[in-house]
Amino acid sequence: MTGRDRRRSRYGIVVVFALLIVALAACGGSSDNVENFVQVREAPADYTIDDLKAFGLKASKHYDVEGLPDGLDAWKGFWGLDPYDRHDYEIRFYTSHDLAVSSGKQLAIDATGAEFEAKRDSQVWTEGVKDRWQARGVTDVSSGGSRQAPGPTYQDWAIVGNMVILCDGLDSEQALKRCASLIDNFLPGDEG
């Protein structure tokens, strides 16, 4: 192989690599774009846990809603397109979208991320508090090992119709991507 052939070969590899990066960036779906995610939105119907179960959510725990202002029902469950990569969700149901927003929004904020960490011991609705706190594996780059770091299970939330959905993740961005994935697949064709 001559020097000229080697340069062409390297140039070809660089071009293919650049095209691959552009293609991967262009393939990002709506659930990857947190900036355009609508955190509070209406829905075409009011839903129950049975609608989510029919969709594929695996309900793992039913919560007593006594003490949940205006709450009708509440569940912990898990869902994912890949059966080996499912994520936790807490879903609270209200009689209407308006009540989900007026009664559920602040409680969702208080039950997720840094707000939950700060207000963990002063929650309005205490049912399921222990499920909202977990030991998460964190890789320690300096030692190459991992350790358990306790923190909120749910880093962010969404309201869709009469449902308040708490979504797990290591940070708000990842949680919102998981909220978006659940919502986009539950309500196909719904933009947001």
What mean pLDDT comes out for the span 146-160?
85
pTM for the model: 0.77
What average pLDDT does range 168-192 have in this prediction? Answer: 88
* pLDDT at position 30: 41
**Would 117 be classed as within a structural domain?**
yes
Q: Which of 68-77, 112-121, 145-154 has the lowest mean pLDDT?
A: 145-154
14 and 44 part of one domain:
no
Count other Cβ atoms within 10 Å, centred on residue 4.
Answer: 8
Same domain for 20 and 90: no
**Burial level of 109, CB count in 10 A (0-12/13-18/19+)?**
middle
25 and 95 assigned to the same domain: no
Instruction: Identify the band that residue 7 occupies on the pLDDT scale cut at 50, 70 and 90.
Output: low
91 and 49 fall within a common domain: yes
For range 97-121, the mean pLDDT:
95
pLDDT of residue 73: 98
Do 63 and 7 belong together in one domain?
A: no
Regarding whether 109 and 20 lie in a shared domain, the answer is: no
pLDDT in tens, 71-97: 999 999 999 999 899 999 999 999 999
Same domain, 7 and 64: no
Please give the tally of structural domains in the chain. Answer: 2
Q: Please tell me whether residues 21 and 79 are part of one structural domain.
A: no
φ/ψ of 62, rounded to 5, equals -105, 130
| End-to-end Cα spacing for the chain | 53
Q: What percent of the chain has pLDDT over 70?
A: 74
Structural domain including 23 reads 1-32
SS3 content of the chain, % helix, strand, coil (to 5): 40, 30, 30
Same domain, yes or no, for 113 and 141?
Answer: yes
| Domain membership flag for residue 191 | no
14 and 77 share one domain: no
For the chain, what is the radius of gyration of the CA atoms?
21
Answer yes or no: is 15 within a domain. Answer: yes
173 and 157 share one domain: yes
Q: Determine the pLDDT at residue 134.
A: 84
Q: Are 147 and 115 contained in the same domain?
A: yes
